[in-house]
């Protein structure tokens, strides 16, 4: 198993206000798969993604990625792990406002020893004609494409998407999901998508459903369909 979690627990707060957000999560994701983490608000799915992404630390349990135990890493090793192996896309695009599309994406390439070719990626993203525009000249969908490009140009082993279509309309959402699908098939990244949109599970290889900090279902999707076939 490429990514493996064993009995992961995480709480926030102290004393009587302490809340256990993850209550013993154990699961794994195969290399190159698209995994969708589903669940209502407060189910712990974003916290779990942040633990995989090295943004949050776990209280107890084990996270192993490609044979490396994450909690055994020093701060410096963790920082290098994030830089070299992880790409992150958020609901808010977090683009640098005074840089062009091309420059925003290029920022990601400086964090990698083996970046993808920039011009080829701009074509894959459908941003070639917009490469010299700055973020406020772009639509929401174009800004999210740019954000995906910045994460993907690093050629990360793991591509983490936190509600990547949360701020987008139906048509644009499907285009962004198709782009994530294309990136996965072209570059072989392991993709983990956090969403509350139940329909997105149908494009995944694996679906993990969380509720109240626990896994309710963890199953392989044997009837996978393409992103453009999704309907909600």
Does 183 reside within a domain?
Answer: yes
Structure confidence at residue 166 (pLDDT): 86
User: Mean pLDDT, to the nearest integer, of 109-120?
Assistant: 89
- CA distances to 170, 218, 224, 228 from 199, in Å: 12, 16, 11, 12
Does 62 reside within a domain?
Answer: no
Beta-carbon contacts of 201 under 8 Å, excluding residues fewer than 6 positions away, are: 36, 38, 207, 221
Local structure of residue 173 (DSSP, 8 states)? H
The domain containing residue 102 runs over which residues?
A: 32-47+82-222
- CB–CB of 219/61 below 8 Å? no
End-to-end CA distance of the chain: 32
Q: What is the CATH number of the domain that holds 205?
A: 3.40.50.300
Least trusted range by pLDDT, from 59-63, 151-155, 165-169, 220-224 = 165-169
Does 12 reside within a domain?
Answer: no
CA–CA gap between residue 135 and residue 126 (Å, rounded): 15
User: Mean pLDDT, to the nearest integer, of 4-26?
Assistant: 95
CA–CA gap between residue 176 and residue 90 (Å, rounded): 13
Does 153 reside within a domain?
Answer: yes
Least trusted range by pLDDT, from 23-27, 101-105, 173-177 = 173-177
CA–CA gap between residue 158 and residue 53 (Å, rounded): 9
pTM of the shown model:
0.91
Q: How many domains, in total, are found in the chain? A: 1
Does 202 reside within a domain?
Answer: yes
Does 1 reside within a domain?
Answer: no
- CB–CB of 102/131 below 8 Å? yes
CA–CA gap between residue 165 and residue 87 (Å, rounded): 16
CA–CA gap between residue 139 and residue 111 (Å, rounded): 27
Does 74 reside within a domain?
Answer: no
CA–CA gap between residue 149 and residue 135 (Å, rounded): 13
User: Mean pLDDT, to the nearest integer, of 55-74?
Assistant: 92
Does 123 reside within a domain?
Answer: yes
Find the angle CA(114)-CA(105)-CA(83) to the nearest 5 degrees.
45
């Amino acid at each position: 198993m490429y990514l493996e979690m064993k009995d992961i627990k995480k709480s926030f707060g102290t004393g009587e206000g302490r809340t256990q957000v993850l209550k013993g999560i154990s699961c794994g994701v195969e290399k190159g798969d698209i995994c969708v983490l589903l669940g209502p608000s407060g189910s712990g799915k974003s916290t779990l993604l942040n633990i995989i992404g090295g943004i949050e630390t776990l209280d107890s349990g084990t996270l192993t990625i490609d044979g490396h135990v994450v909690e055994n890493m020093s701060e410096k090793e963790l920082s290098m792990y994030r830089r070299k192996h992880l790409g992150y896309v958020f609901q808010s695009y977090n683009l640098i406002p005074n840089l062009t599309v091309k420059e925003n994406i290029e920022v990601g390439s400086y964090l990698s020893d083996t970046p993808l070719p920039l011009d080829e990626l701009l074509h894959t993203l459908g941003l070639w004609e917009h490469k010299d525009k700055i973020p406020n000249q772009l639509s929401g969908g174009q800004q999210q494409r740019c954000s995906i490009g910045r994460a993907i140009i690093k050629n990360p082993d793991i591509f983490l998407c936190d509600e990547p279509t949360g701020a987008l309309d139906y048509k644009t959402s499907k285009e962004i999901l198709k782009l994530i699908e294309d990136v996965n098939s072209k570059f072989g990244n392991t993709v983990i998508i956090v969403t509350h949109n139940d329909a997105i599970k149908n494009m995944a290889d694996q679906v993990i459903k969380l509720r109240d900090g626990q896994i309710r279902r963890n199953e392989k999707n044997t009837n996978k369909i393409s992103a453009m076939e999704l309907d909600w």
